[in-house]
Chains A and B, each alone.
Chain A
Amino acid sequence: MNRPPLIAIGLLAACVLAYEVLLTRLFSIVLWHHFAYMIISAAMLGYGASGTLLTLLKEKVAAHFGVVYVMAATALALLMPAAFLLAQQIPFNPLELLWDKTQLAKLLAVYLLMMLPFFCGGLGIGLVMSHFGKQASRIYACDIFGAGVGSLGVIGVLFFIQPPQALTALTALALLATAAAVAELKMRPKWLMELFIGLAVLAAVLLPGIRAHPSAYKDLSQAMNIAGARAVEERSSPLGQITVVENTRVPLRHAPGMSLNATSEPPPQLGVFVDGDGPSALTRFDGDLTQLAYLDQLTSALPYHLLERPHVLVLGAGAGSDVLQALYHGSVAVDAVELDHNIANLVSQRFSGYAGNLYALPNVRVYEAEARGFVNTSHERYDLVQVALLDSFGTASAGLYGLSENYLYTVEALQAYLNRLAPGGMLAVTRWLTLPPRDALKLFATAVTALERDGVVNPAARLVMIRGWKTVTLLVKNSDFDVREVASIKEFCRARSFDPAYFPGMRAEEANRYNILLQPYFFEGAVALLSPQRQGFIDQYKFYIEPATDDRPHFFRFFKWNSAAELFALREQGGMPLLDWSYPLLVATLVQAIAASILLILAPLALSRCRRTLPSAPVALYFLAIGLAFMFMEIAFIQKFVLFLAHPLYAVAVVLCAFLVFAAAGSWMAGRWQAENKVALAVIAMGALALLYLAILPSLFRALIHLPDAEKIIISVALIAPLAICMGVPFSTGLMRLAGASEEAVPWAWALNGFASVVGAVLATLLAIHLGFAAVILLAILIYGMACAALRGFA
């Protein structure tokens, strides 16, 4: 047993990191959010708790190293699917979080279950590290290499198999890792290796039955409950799991917010759901445009009554409803941009006959691209840029996206769209109506800011907003609206009983006529947002309607602490639905992260013999600080790279992998670097790099966002590498310094760093929502600076 099980460690680390990334996909399918912050926090908790256990049971474990390692690896294999399956058995329902106190306990149970596989993984890797201490650098290299391959590899795998099957594959891989360990450690009996290989094969063959069960309250679950519903197509990629639902008994009829005056109904449709959310409609089209009259009864039809035969760009074309709407209104050409190849393919291939070969029509061009990337690099000029309404009413209105980054509705995004307009062109954005107004006013404020940043002196002359009973459409023109257009807007609204919320020259009595509110909230809000008192209005408004920016792209965050107490007090009088659940959930997760990490990482040490070796205040501060700062950087960059890499999953995988691999490289280099003040130098370099990135990343992303995914991943890794190398220096250097001064305090260093990482992952998300990514990164630099000061007190 003289050689460490390097292959086994590489495989084990690959499993653990792949599992971490995979969980973000699975959570998107089962619930409404990727929960990246919670999963990273749970992973850190698992690692931290395993470190504490190893410290406490070092001698006992050392005597049975091989057996304990194999048990840990086997437990990892079993717990990866088991923890996820068990978590699905817990009836955690975020929608009930504010009604039902037991939901908090259920959330904690999910969090702790998610932690268990990481605990086993951490135990295995930690065991090998401590047992083969002298070969730690080789072990570390294999560990990090495996982790890097795992986190990126799982993305590749998800192009070919569905997430639940990937979970099975990981189970099989973990069992193979166990078999490899048995072989490398030359353990007996010899048939043990064959046994684990056999189990791996069995897992691969038998386990594909594991299914992710979406919440019963997700749109797809609800649609499938209807008599006659059947899934006619399922596709999966890292971008999402697509389900196409047909129901011939109770057909889907999707016409969001159709005028109450309408007499026509939509033709037969198929429902397209992504990760169980939706539906967006794939409408049967036989070339007869008269069948599509309902599309003229939506608020989104307004721009077509102001433009003659426009050249249209549809961003987020999905299954083609907005393309049909453009064609119905005589558009001369339509460019449709859709990110997900699988969705575009449904219309262009699988259901092309049903959809009337919509995406193959001579005047329709389809681009599989990310909207911002397409707009930044396209040279076309459009009369109309239409941002499609793809999310579902239920999830949007219940605040289910409160924590999600969304780069479609930021000031910079609107500027980019406006930049693509031909003279006299318009941008149209349709959102669901929420009451009291939230999305609509935030969007309006965002548009005002975008126009101002573009140097428009009088934004009021270029904005129009109308509302129906369920949707709101905002128009932004790149020149002033004229009298003729205003007359057309009024007539469009009158004929469909829609209300103008704002148009240039609008009088108060023209608001609130058809869909009557207690007060003309939309008109009053729009006028206030165009007045010099705008900031005061935004500050006083009981929901957060500050314009979203690329630095704070949480368009769907409307939560304000001031209003939360008032709404909670009104919970039994209908106030509860106005409280976004996602935000209290984040706070609850933070509280449980703190409690769980104190209980599982710090308390066991404090109660053991280690209580006699408490570290000095500077040491404690140092390891806390660098744990917190590292997580702040990592989470902020994950969220920042969502824009560039076009999807949260890509961002999580790529940024995690890059930070891990290059921080490890930094650690390794620090060991060979003799400079006395290397931590300070590394922190200065890291701070300078981070500041440079804050300055240049927006323009760099704009210039490169159109590149293929593979190239963007390489660029992302290259950007993060130098930063992560610098960030790898403080931990290993501090540890070496501490080992020289008081070795018995080393377990505390690990534990405190683990604690800070668990809390930091959630805290960074909370701070990013409040302060923006730039502030989180600046805070991280500041905390690293404090760590440098604390390091001086080590002696």
Chain B
Amino acid sequence: MVEEVLADTAATSSYSGSSAFSHDVIAAMKKVERHHFVPSELTAVAYHNRPLPIGYGQTISQPFIVALMTDLMRVKAGDRVLEIGTGSGYQAAILAEIAGSVYSIEIIEPLGKQAGERLKSLGYRNVQTRVGDGYYGWPEAAPFDAIIVTAAASHVPPPLLQQLKPGGRMVIPLGTQFMTQYLMLVEKQQDGSVTSRQILPVRFVPLTGGH
């Protein structure tokens, strides 16, 4: 699976702004076993490069998108990361392999509890999970070096932007379950202002030829 994802990176590099996924991301993708995070009946397809249902109308993202999002966050060792939308816990586990600490909030109670237990049983001591409303972030642990918002939201909650460190990065996938249309990367400048970048995960140029 990781090899497939890596092979796909080159094709996307010009769009994601990086020539290849960082070594940390690749190492994390190799280390975290995806079959722990999918329902038992889907174990056989756990390493397919596709999104899979995890119940409650939620999905575990396509590994390629997980790698791309993690890479865009530019997480470093020791970083403090916030995730809104724990889901299966797979993204949190990948982040935990790289970052110092990961704080993850899930809005769907049973899913959040399962993911918390799963991460604990897999030995991720640097991940803290919570079930609740992600709108106000995790103020006790703020500020964060990076934030990822995988839960659908009509807008970016202002409190989350406030909890992002100057120089920090926020990644938001947009679309619906099974269908990540594009990624938004929000960068907070040192002066507190923000810019956003919309990234199409796929190398697909809509404008063909000159006009």
Q: Which residues in A have some Cβ–Cβ distance to B below 8 Å?
A: 93, 95-96, 99-100, 215-218, 221-222, 225-227, 249-250, 253-258, 260-265, 393-395, 397-398, 434-437, 469-470, 497, 514-519, 521, 524-525, 528, 531, 533, 536-537, 540-543, 566-567, 570, 572-578
**A253-B155, A531-B211, A578-B181 as given contacts; A573 in contact with B195, CB under 8 Å:** no
CA of A257 to CA of B153 in the docked complex: distance in angstroms?
9
The answer to whether B200 touches A435, judged by C-beta atoms less than 8 angstroms apart, is yes
Shortest Cβ distance from A281 into B: residue: B154
- Which residues of chain A are near B209, meaning CB under 8 Å? 540
The answer to whether B176 touches A265, judged by C-beta atoms less than 8 angstroms apart, is no
The answer to whether A518 touches B15, judged by C-beta atoms less than 8 angstroms apart, is yes
Additional A-B contact list (11), CB under 8 Å, known A253-B157, A264-B158, A570-B203: A227-B108, A258-B154, A394-B176, A398-B178, A537-B207, A540-B207, A572-B64, A573-B64, A573-B201, A574-B64, A578-B202
CA of A572 to CA of B66 in the docked complex: distance in angstroms?
12
**Cross-interface CB contact of B211 among A260, A263, A516, A533, cutoff 8 Å:** A533
The answer to whether B208 touches A436, judged by C-beta atoms less than 8 angstroms apart, is no
CA of A264 to CA of B155 in the docked complex: distance in angstroms?
12
Interface centre among A218, A222, A226, A574 (most CB of B within 10 A): A574
CA of A100 to CA of B42 in the docked complex: distance in angstroms?
12
The answer to whether B207 touches A516, judged by C-beta atoms less than 8 angstroms apart, is no
The answer to whether A537 touches B211, judged by C-beta atoms less than 8 angstroms apart, is yes
10 smallest beta-carbon distances between A and B, as pairs: A574-B201, A394-B176, A436-B206, A216-B57, A258-B155, A577-B179, A574-B202, A573-B8, A435-B182, A250-B133
**A225-B57, A257-B154, A514-B195 as given contacts; A567 in contact with B204, CB under 8 Å:** yes
- Which residues of chain B are near A398, meaning CB under 8 Å? 175-176, 178-179, 181
**Cross-interface CB contact of B156 among A222, A258, A436, A570, cutoff 8 Å:** A258
- Which residues of chain B are near A575, meaning CB under 8 Å? 202, 204
What's the least CB distance linking B211 to chain A, in Å? Answer: 4
CA of A99 to CA of B204 in the docked complex: distance in angstroms?
19
Shortest Cβ distance from B184 into A: residue: A469
CA of A218 to CA of B65 in the docked complex: distance in angstroms?
22
**A221-B57, A253-B135, A577-B180 as given contacts; A542 in contact with B175, CB under 8 Å:** no
CA of A567 to CA of B181 in the docked complex: distance in angstroms?
13
**Cross-interface CB contact of B186 among A221, A260, A263, A435, cutoff 8 Å:** A260
- Which residues of chain A are near B201, meaning CB under 8 Å? 573-574
Is B128 at the interface (CB under 8 A from chain A)? Answer: no
What's the least CB distance linking B198 to chain A, in Å? Answer: 5
The answer to whether B131 touches A540, judged by C-beta atoms less than 8 angstroms apart, is no
CA of A528 to CA of B11 in the docked complex: distance in angstroms?
27
Interface centre among B4, B107, B178 (most CB of A within 10 A): B178
Is B177 at the interface (CB under 8 A from chain A)? Answer: yes
**A258-B156, A469-B184, A543-B206 as given contacts; A574 in contact with B211, CB under 8 Å:** no
Shortest Cβ distance from A396 into B: residue: B176
Interface centre among B65, B133, B211 (most CB of A within 10 A): B211
Shortest Cβ distance from A540 into B: residue: B208
What's the least CB distance linking B74 to chain A, in Å? Answer: 17
Is B152 at the interface (CB under 8 A from chain A)? Answer: yes
Chain B contacts with A in 35-68, Cβ cutoff 8 A: 49-51, 53, 56-57, 62, 64-65, 68
**Cross-interface CB contact of B57 among A217, A521, A540, A566, cutoff 8 Å:** A217
What's the least CB distance linking A256 to chain B, in Å? Answer: 5
What's the least CB distance linking B5 to chain A, in Å? Answer: 8
Is B32 at the interface (CB under 8 A from chain A)? Answer: no
The answer to whether B131 touches A397, judged by C-beta atoms less than 8 angstroms apart, is no
The answer to whether B206 touches A541, judged by C-beta atoms less than 8 angstroms apart, is yes
CA of A434 to CA of B107 in the docked complex: distance in angstroms?
26
Can you show 28 pairs from A to B with CB atoms below 8 A apart? A95-B177, A95-B178, A216-B57, A217-B178, A225-B56, A227-B132, A260-B186, A260-B194, A265-B135, A398-B178, A436-B204, A436-B206, A469-B196, A515-B198, A516-B198, A517-B198, A518-B14, A519-B207, A524-B207, A528-B207, A536-B211, A542-B208, A572-B50, A573-B8, A574-B62, A574-B68, A577-B178, A578-B202
The answer to whether B155 touches A227, judged by C-beta atoms less than 8 angstroms apart, is no
- Which residues of chain B are near A537, meaning CB under 8 Å? 207, 211
- Which residues of chain A are near B206, meaning CB under 8 Å? 436-437, 521, 541-543
What's the least CB distance linking A10 to chain B, in Å? Answer: 43
Shortest Cβ distance from B172 into A: residue: A469
- Which residues of chain B are near A570, meaning CB under 8 Å? 11, 202-204
- Which residues of chain A are near B207, meaning CB under 8 Å? 519, 521, 524-525, 528, 537, 540-541
Is B12 at the interface (CB under 8 A from chain A)? Answer: yes
CA of A533 to CA of B211 in the docked complex: distance in angstroms?
7
**A253-B154, A260-B161, A572-B4 as given contacts; A395 in contact with B181, CB under 8 Å:** no
- Which residues of chain A are near B161, meaning CB under 8 Å? 260
The answer to whether B198 touches A435, judged by C-beta atoms less than 8 angstroms apart, is yes
Shortest Cβ distance from B17 into A: residue: A518
CA of A511 to CA of B4 in the docked complex: distance in angstroms?
36
Shortest Cβ distance from A252 into B: residue: B154
What's the least CB distance linking A529 to chain B, in Å? Answer: 9
**A573-B8, A577-B180 as given contacts; A249 in contact with B197, CB under 8 Å:** no
- Which residues of chain A are near B4, meaning CB under 8 Å? 572
**A265-B158, A537-B211 as given contacts; A99 in contact with B51, CB under 8 Å:** yes
**Cross-interface CB contact of A573 among B108, B203, B208, cutoff 8 Å:** B203
**Cross-interface CB contact of B155 among A255, A541, A578, cutoff 8 Å:** A255
Chain B contacts with A in 60-95, Cβ cutoff 8 A: 62, 64-65, 68
Chain B contacts with A in 145-161, Cβ cutoff 8 A: 152-158, 161
Is B174 at the interface (CB under 8 A from chain A)? Answer: yes
CA of A53 to CA of B26 in the docked complex: distance in angstroms?
61
Shortest Cβ distance from A94 into B: residue: B178
CA of A470 to CA of B174 in the docked complex: distance in angstroms?
9
Shortest Cβ distance from A577 into B: residue: B179
CA of A566 to CA of B208 in the docked complex: distance in angstroms?
13
- Which residues of chain B are near A250, meaning CB under 8 Å? 107, 132-133, 135
Is B109 at the interface (CB under 8 A from chain A)? Answer: yes
- Which residues of chain A are near B205, meaning CB under 8 Å? 436, 542
- Which residues of chain A are near B186, meaning CB under 8 Å? 260
- Which residues of chain A are near B153, meaning CB under 8 Å? 253
Shortest Cβ distance from B107 into A: residue: A226
The answer to whether A574 touches B180, judged by C-beta atoms less than 8 angstroms apart, is yes
- Which residues of chain B are near A533, meaning CB under 8 Å? 211
The answer to whether A216 touches B56, judged by C-beta atoms less than 8 angstroms apart, is yes
What's the least CB distance linking A511 to chain B, in Å? Answer: 13
What's the least CB distance linking A578 to chain B, in Å? Answer: 7
What's the least CB distance linking A594 to chain B, in Å? Answer: 28
The answer to whether A574 touches B155, judged by C-beta atoms less than 8 angstroms apart, is no
CA of A394 to CA of B62 in the docked complex: distance in angstroms?
17
CA of A543 to CA of B206 in the docked complex: distance in angstroms?
7
**Cross-interface CB contact of B179 among A216, A262, A264, A576, cutoff 8 Å:** A576
The answer to whether A397 touches B154, judged by C-beta atoms less than 8 angstroms apart, is no
What's the least CB distance linking A520 to chain B, in Å? Answer: 10
CA of A449 to CA of B198 in the docked complex: distance in angstroms?
29
Per-residue CB proximity of B94-136 to A under 8 Å, as 1/0? 0000000000000111000000000000000000000111010
- Which residues of chain A are near B131, meaning CB under 8 Å? 227
What's the least CB distance linking B75 to chain A, in Å? Answer: 21
CA of A394 to CA of B58 in the docked complex: distance in angstroms?
13
What's the least CB distance linking A350 to chain B, in Å? Answer: 24
What's the least CB distance linking A245 to chain B, in Å? Answer: 14
- Which residues of chain A are near B56, meaning CB under 8 Å? 216, 225
The answer to whether A393 touches B154, judged by C-beta atoms less than 8 angstroms apart, is yes
Shortest Cβ distance from A562 into B: residue: B208
The answer to whether A217 touches B176, judged by C-beta atoms less than 8 angstroms apart, is yes
CA of A225 to CA of B195 in the docked complex: distance in angstroms?
33
What's the least CB distance linking B174 to chain A, in Å? Answer: 7
The answer to whether A260 touches B156, judged by C-beta atoms less than 8 angstroms apart, is yes
What's the least CB distance linking B137 to chain A, in Å? Answer: 13
CA of A470 to CA of B62 in the docked complex: distance in angstroms?
22
Interface centre among A216, A253, A254, A578 (most CB of B within 10 A): A578
- Which residues of chain A are near B57, meaning CB under 8 Å? 215-218, 221-222, 225
